[in-house]
Structure 1
Amino acid sequence: MQKPALNKSSLSHLERQRSMYQRYLPALEMKQRLLLTQRKQTGQRLATLRQRINEQQATIGRDLPMMADEDIALTGLVEVEDVEIVQENLVGVSLPALGNVRISRHSCPLLVQPHWVDQAQDQLAAAMQLEVERRVLERRLTLLDDAVRLITQRINLFSRVMIPELERHMKRIDLHLSDQERAAVVRAKLAKQKLARTEARP
């Protein structure tokens, strides 16, 4: 910031600037609190979802161990056809939210289809749904992390840099103006004394 002139006009300008920053700061802090709350909730949802994915994988391993047989072709049994991503606006930050997920199941000939394929399709479809949800939540969390970091930088800029710097300049101007006032009073007294001495001479 350029050093301001040491006068009342400059002091008044700095006071208006500080007042504007101090009014803006609570709005930033409120936005930060909302983003932090949303980030915490998203992190909890993601942790819960990852736990569900782990449990679901354990269920597949327990109930359908035959899926590990590489001689049985399971590719193409289920496929994600469409994923709807809805954009939510949270205090100016655009966040993705999962809408509808369309997963299609492809049948294979009954004569070559093992009896457990229907169950495998159910489990694979559920796993795909969870995987799509995980990716969307991870993207959402990344965007929230970025938004929180940016808003925190702005708050720090105002509260730790700009406002204190304005106050330092204001203090310097106040001190300069006070010194000028005192000097003017002293000069006025000296001038009055000199005038009194001049008038007292015959």
Structure 2
Amino acid sequence: MSKLTLSKSGLQRERESLKLYRKVLPSLDLKRQQLLGEHKKAEREYQELLASFEPYAREVAERVPMLASPGIDLSQYISLKDYQKGEENIVGVKVPSLDSLEFELVDYAYLGTPHWFDHAIEALKQFTELKIRAQIAGERVDALYKAARKITQRVNLFDKILIPRAEANIKKIQIHLADAERSAVVQSKLAKAKSHRITEALKGGGV
């Protein structure tokens, strides 16, 4: 931190800084509120995705109960080949989004598989997509949380440190300038009185 200059130019600089801080603070606080709102929304969506796992598993179990049978393993027929993430801008923060999912299916004889096999494959694909979406939703929550924390720190810096410091500096400089002005007035009066005495003494023929 630079040393405070107790002068009129220093006072002007502090006033300009205070004006700038007060101008910037409302926009920072607005962005903070927006980010907190988006973070809350992202957290709610994430929790909803997590909460959907169990109901979906029950639904699949009802539609394809054979999946619970020992020895049923569909991983040899289907696997997640790749998925692509995109980016979404939320209040100036880049957060991930799901662009595409690509599965790799092994050719199998349709006539040689049970009637429920296709439903099971589709259920596995949907469940995998649900897990990926939940993963990305968690990443969105983290990104928005970090951004909200960072902007909150900036708001606190302006509100609790920079603005109070500038106000205190202005007050300190004003007091110093007022004291200096009073001192100058007193010195001027003393010098004038002394000059008057000297003048009177000279007129009287002595010092």
TM, length-normalised to structure 1:
0.87
Question: Contact 1:84/1:99 (CA < 8 Å) preserved in 2?
Answer: yes
Task: Give the number of aligned pairs.
Answer: 202
1:122 aligns with 2:83: no
3-state SS of paired residue (1:102): strand
3-state SS of paired residue (2:14): helix
1:72 aligns with 2:78: no
Greater CA drift, 56-65 or 102-111: 102-111
Identity %: 33
Q: 1:35-46 to 2 correspondence within 5 Å?
A: 35-46=35-46
Match of 1:20 in 2: 20
Shift of 1:142: 0.6
Shift of 1:76: 3.2
Shift of 1:72: 2.2
Shift of 1:151: 0.9
Greater CA drift, 184-193 or 152-161: 184-193
Shift of 1:188: 2.3
1:171 aligns with 2:171: yes
Match of 1:57 in 2: 57
Structure 1 unmatched ranges of 5 or more: none
Task: Give the Cα–Cα distance (whole angstroms) in 2 for the partners of residues 195 and 64 of structure 1.
Answer: 112
Greater CA drift, 8-17 or 130-139: 8-17
Match of 2:94 in 1: 94
Question: Which aligned segments of 4 or more residues in structure 1 are displaced greater than 6 angstroms?
Answer: none
Shift of 1:111: 5.8
Shift of 1:109: 2.9
Distance 1:30 1:61, change over 3 A: same
Greater CA drift, 104-113 or 47-56: 104-113
Question: Contact 2:60/2:123 (CA < 8 Å) preserved in 1?
Answer: yes
Task: Give the Cα–Cα distance (whole angstroms) in 2 for the partners of residues 52 and 72 of structure 1.
Answer: 24
Task: Give the Cα–Cα distance (whole angstroms) in 1 for the partners of residues 80 and 156 of structure 2.
Answer: 44
Match of 2:113 in 1: 113
Question: Contact 1:105/1:121 (CA < 8 Å) preserved in 2?
Answer: no
Task: Give the Cα–Cα distance (whole angstroms) in 2 for the partners of residues 122 and 86 of structure 1.
Answer: 24
Task: Give the Cα–Cα distance (whole angstroms) in 1 for the partners of residues 115 and 107 of structure 2.
Answer: 12
Match of 2:186 in 1: 186
CA-to-aligned-CA distance 1:50-79 (integer Å, 9 cap, x gap): 222221012123333321233123213333
CA-to-aligned-CA distance 1:84-111 (integer Å, 9 cap, x gap): 3221223432111122323354443346
Counterpart of 1:193 in structure 2: which amino acid? Answer: A
Distance 1:76 1:35, change over 3 A: farther
